[in-house]
Amino acid sequence: MKILVTGGAGFIGSHVVELFIEAGFEVVIVDDLSTGRVSNIHPKASFYQLDIRSPRLEEVFSVERPDYVSHHAAQMDVRRSVVDPLFDADVNIRGSLNLLDCARATEVKKFIYISSGGAAYGEPLYLPCDEEHPINPICPYGASKHTVEHYLYMYSLNYGQNYAVLRYPNVYGPRQDPHGEAGVVAIFIGKMLNEEPITINGTGEQERDFVHVKDCARANMLAISAENGIYNLGSGKGTSVNEIFRLLRQITGYPNPASHGSAKLGETLKIYLDATKAKKTMGWQPTLSLLEGLSQTVAYHQAFERTL
């Protein structure tokens, strides 16, 4: 069996690639390396440095003939989406449609699409959010990621394309770049290990659903045999940014307090996800506790990120 992973040189995608190779799959990576790293490319995977919007993507599908697609490549920066919504839509919507057309033309058996559980729901009407919660994104990123879910339904209805949507929570863990588009965990760890000052956006009481990258990668494997549909991934509980700071300070021995700046435009205050459907249908649930996962992530950054 062969799977094509877009964004496979990135933080989450590289873990997905690793898992499928360990399971005996042939893996093809498509990544333009705009945020991915050459060092993340698995030596046993075939690699194409390519933008998902490129017309050349059709050639990759024609040559490789993947059985499955796991689509992680995206414009994923909420702040950039607010500043440049046209670019966000071009990558996340037009790029995904290019992939879907290639998948349809080569009769891909299952299209696994990575959506956003943190940005698509907007400000929750209730918590934790299940898949039936209204979709009211407050940033272009959330809107663009959700839009592709509608296209997947249409491609299923009109062309018989099987699919699974995985709405990710806030994913953290090894290989998350502490610079650029990084999440709060990687940013905090990078600054703490270098004893640099840390600024928390807003009050720090904003809550997120933090799940380790290996748990999210495992959901991709389970999604191959899952029925068509949308699945939240999450722990079902929120953790504040202030609490993340406190735990990482405890793990790293960081000596300084944090300062507070202005809140980010387009950022949801509190969001965490009900993953009951994923548990009942796919047998998925998080396996790593937050403290254990953060400790592993700090150890990774101490061993690798500080030498880059």
DSSP letter, residue 203? T
List of residues 6+ apart from 184 with CB closer than 8 A: 170, 208, 241, 244
Catalytic residues: 141
List of residues 6+ apart from 279 with CB closer than 8 A: 285
Q: Phi first, then psi: give them for residue 12, nearest 5 degrees.
A: -75, -45
- Distance, in Å, from the CA atom of 93 to the CA atom of 102, rounded to the nearest integer, reads 14
- Distance, in Å, from the CA atom of 279 to the CA atom of 231, rounded to the nearest integer, reads 9
Q: Quick check: helix, strand or coil at residue 77?
A: coil
Q: What angle do CA 272, 278, 284 make, to 5 degrees?
A: 100
| Residue 114, H or E segment | strand 110-116
Count of beta carbons in the 10 Å neighbourhood of residue 269: 13
